[in-house]
Structure 1
Amino acid sequence: MTHGIDNQRRMLIQGAGGLGLAGLLPASFAQAGFDWKRYSGQSIEVHLVKSPRADLLQKYEKEFQTMTGITVGSEQVPEQQSRQKAVIEFNSGKTSFDVIHLSYHVQKRQFAKGKWLEDLRPYFASQAATDFDLKDFAAGGMFYATQTDGRIDSLPLNLDPWLLYYNKELFAAKGIQAPKTMADMLTAAKALHDPANGVYGMVGRGLKNANVPLWTTFFLGYGGSFTDASGKLLTDGPEAIASATLYRDLLKSNGPAGIAGFNWNESQSLFLQGKAAMWIDGSGFALPLEDTAKSKVVGKVGYGVIPAGPKAHLVSMFGDGVGVSAFTQKKGPAWYYVQWATGKLMQQRMLADGMGAPVRTSAYANKEALAALKLPVAWLQAVADSLRISRPGLPVIEPVNEFRDTFGIALNNILTGADVATEMKKATAEFQPVLNKSEGKS
């Protein structure tokens, strides 16, 4: 078993390290006289996005306070409300928070345009702990954290490839194998869908905005690209329509009533009750599935790579990090929190607790973290395999939240009976001027 874990660990390191641009990582800095108590007596406010990573940070918050003498006030806010709050407060020029947790796939370009976060590079040189080791961050994470002008205005917490979760017991009862292709997945969903007995073939995000990453996961497999070289949207072409049709067929025809209002938490809840045969979402949502106090499917969960599409076998990847508000008067203590939150020990804990795929490669070489892993080795294998074929699950554009809103409404309409092609064409026509304006085009 140990040999198998070692092989998977090496694979995962290779996958994480290959997600970015070679040579992007700056030199590592460390100060021999670093003092964690430098800002003792001060206080900071931390704005977190509701997620397993936020749970982890709050779990060990008192440890940071004891180590530094810095008092921390933190809150978790659901992602859509968090994004609205960030825009309002940053645009006001005064933030209620000193540290903010951000989703790179949604907010990177937006935050860069407003220069809302502090450039952390000077802190690497003057206020970095001896074990900070910037080179330890995988290139994929630093690609997300580095802006086009070279500023590093956050540090990455997590790279999140999406996985297929499936109920092995339900599959075995019908003699069905884990799906290898998206066509297999639809066939399995139909075969396992048994609403009369409270079992659904597939569960996933139907709620507008939140639903877009699930559709784009299929879009990648159908060979889709968000735009052509000129910036023209390709989201109303055959790949987009076919993948949105699959999205509809999986959820509307083989999911529970009310699926159009489901986000990740409703989906997770149904799956851990043993009422869903399959669920697709981020790798960091696995831990409750193996918790005997919360889950009825402990030991019954299969962890797999997203099945191959008809044209490509790719996995959608997302990421999140933490940064210091450019408007805070407490930049020093805020930086200390960011440094701690993304440090080696916290990254090891993230892996051990199954709360995501750490960005620090040292976490996967840590024997204690692997020994303490609370999830099956199959989860680690699925993450390893997924990272090697991962691609951004959303277009890297400034108005990405508007993209999610526009296409999220289209997908939501599709789930409630609207025509697929009509909705995708309408959304594309509506969003193209928004994209053009963001890129400075008439």
Structure 2
Amino acid sequence: MKLKATLALAASLALAGAAQATELVIATVNNGHMIEMQKLSKHFESAHPDIKLKWVTLEEGVLRQRVTTDIATKGGQFDVMTIGMYETPIWGKKGWLQELKPDAAYDVDDLLPAMRQGLSVDNKLFAAPFYGESSMLMYRKDLADKVGVTMPDQPTWAQVKDFAAKVHDPKNGTYGICLRGKPGWGDNMAFITTVVNAYGGQWFDTSWKPQLQSKPWNDAITFYVDLLKNYGPPGSSANSFNEILALFNAGKCAMWVDATIAASFVSDPKQSKVADKVAFAQAPTAVTAKGANWLWAWALAIPAGSKNADSAQKFISWATSKDYIKLVAKEKGWASVPTGTRKSTYATPEFLKAARFAEAEKKAIDSANPNDSTLPKSPYVGVQFAAIPEFQSIGIAVGQQMSSALAGKTSVADALAASQTAADREMRKAGYYK
């Protein structure tokens, strides 16, 4: 009887403990690094038996919609949200996010300065970077050698065009350059904005007036359209990251400027036919190097409405820690760790050996400054976007016009005029000026 009573007591205590466990609802994006985090989270739960994790894993567009609606309406559905550098400064300023205050062991000073800065408002951290990226030039070193071209560490767009012209060989299935053309504020416009920045342009002047018909915009878009029409693959206006990754890995692109996160895929012999032939350089410049390469992070944040902030803070500290990176390395290898967040990752010999793109990636991230990304002074934060609520709809409208110009459905001048009208209408409606 005593044994039965003891077992019954133990069972009831276990049930009571389970009933008292805090359920953390985590909204995240369905990409590889996040899915790995979900798999490894059993380690967090075993270390924190009083916390249970509930995952809501969504495609990027759906995630943005769900978390934006929830936070704006104070819905309180989520305790941890996966957001980016676009949302963090806007929502932090509005008081929609809780400030993150990790303990000393977390070592906040180990975060790469560009990442910490891009996820802070008034030096207060509102989201912790899970992985970060900039953009870089990935190119075929074998083709460069063949035509006697030595790629500088940071080429100009004119040098890129020259190399593209020399190696463009569509009859044999090689295109001089592959670049994003699919419309979207985070698709073609992320890339195009960096070209505009390099040509000395900006989205808005200090009075918040759109600058889409300025000389830098016209020069940049004319160059971009000509470059892809002459030396790009057919159908470029429909290509984004995944389409170009497939083309590059199949050996069809001599060059590609895109997210640094792509470097680990194009240099992986399991995925890429040209893994041993790829070299890396900084994103091209033109009139200036300012804003020539973008800055982004997928980060974890706590909405102001969460009633489980302490538990949420524990989870975020775990998932974005040095120890988490070491856990991924142990389970999957150093080539698979989330990059672009911590200085210590780039000081790890095993990582540097596994990732030959590491030096170029870190240099790109370190050089990106979301608070000073344009040659003329700009009123907005962000490199490849402007961190204002109106930018999302403006970026989508402009992205459609740029894609149409690339497809030859409209002229560059007409596309820019339509873009200026759309941006001006949005900014007036929002009350930036009359």
Return the TM-score normalized by structure 1.
0.80
Aligned to 1:326, the other structure's residue is in SS state: coil
Which of 216, 236, 241 aligns to 2:193? It is 216
Report the CA distance between 1:408 and its aligned residue.
0.8
Report the CA distance between 1:381 and its aligned residue.
2.5
Report the CA distance between 1:432 and its aligned residue.
2.2
Which of 171, 189, 203 aligns to 1:196? It is 171
Instruction: State the one-letter code of the partner of 1:167.
Output: R
* Shift in CA distance, 270/333, structure 1 to aligned 2, threshold 3 Å: same
CA contact under 8 A between 2:282 and 2:364: conserved in structure 1?
Answer: yes
* 1:251-290 superposed matches below 5 A: 251-290=228-267
CA contact under 8 A between 1:48 and 1:101: conserved in structure 2?
Answer: yes
Match of 1:25 in 2: none
Deviating more after overlay: 320-329 vs 73-82:
73-82
Do residues 425 (structure 1) and 417 (structure 2) align? yes
CA contact under 8 A between 1:203 and 1:278: conserved in structure 2?
Answer: yes
Q: Distance in 2 between matches of 1:411 and 1:197?
A: 29
Cα distance per residue 1:178-232 (max 9 Å; x no partner): 3622012122223322222222222222111110011112112111122222222
Report the CA distance between 1:304 and its aligned residue.
0.8
Match of 1:87 in 2: 68
* Shift in CA distance, 137/389, structure 1 to aligned 2, threshold 3 Å: closer
RMSD of Structure 2 on Structure 1 (CA): 2.9
Cα distance per residue 1:14-67 (max 9 Å; x no partner): xxxxxxxxxxxxxxxxxxxxxxx9999443332223445425523533322333
- Report the identity percentage: 24
Match of 2:218 in 1: 241
Deviating more after overlay: 81-90 vs 70-79:
70-79
* Shift in CA distance, 170/76, structure 1 to aligned 2, threshold 3 Å: farther
Tell me the number of residue pairs that the alignment of Structure 1 and Structure 2 aligns: 394
Match of 1:226 in 2: 203
Match of 1:412 in 2: 403
Match of 2:391 in 1: 400
Deviating more after overlay: 346-355 vs 273-282:
346-355
Report the CA distance between 1:354 and its aligned residue.
6.3
Instruction: State the one-letter code of the partner of 1:397.
Output: I
Q: Distance in 2 between matches of 1:390 and 1:159?
A: 12
Report the CA distance between 1:166 and its aligned residue.
0.9
Aligned to 2:253, the other structure's residue is in SS state: coil
Q: Distance in 1 between matches of 2:238 and 2:92?
A: 32
Report the CA distance between 1:440 and its aligned residue.
4.4
* 1:50-89 superposed matches below 5 A: 50-51=30-31, 53-69=33-49, 70-89=51-70
Instruction: State the one-letter code of the partner of 2:71.
Output: F
Instruction: State the one-letter code of the partner of 1:144.
Output: G
Return the TM-score normalized by structure 2.
0.81
Match of 2:372 in 1: none
Which of 424, 427, 430 aligns to 1:435? It is 427
Which of 95, 99, 110 aligns to 1:115? It is 95
Which of 118, 140, 163 aligns to 2:136? It is 163
* Shift in CA distance, 169/138, structure 1 to aligned 2, threshold 3 Å: closer
Match of 1:28 in 2: none
Structure 1: runs of 5+ lacking an equivalent: 1-36
Q: Distance in 2 between matches of 1:177 and 1:237?
A: 33
Match of 1:184 in 2: 159
* 1:2-81 superposed matches below 5 A: 41-51=21-31, 53-69=33-49, 70-81=51-62
The structure with the larger Rg is 2
CA contact under 8 A between 1:316 and 1:390: conserved in structure 2?
Answer: yes
* 1:322-337 superposed matches below 5 A: 322-337=300-315
Q: Distance in 2 between matches of 1:289 and 1:278?
A: 11
Q: Distance in 1 between matches of 2:124 and 2:359?
A: 34
* Shift in CA distance, 415/134, structure 1 to aligned 2, threshold 3 Å: same
Do residues 134 (structure 1) and 116 (structure 2) align? no
Instruction: State the one-letter code of the partner of 2:421.
Output: A
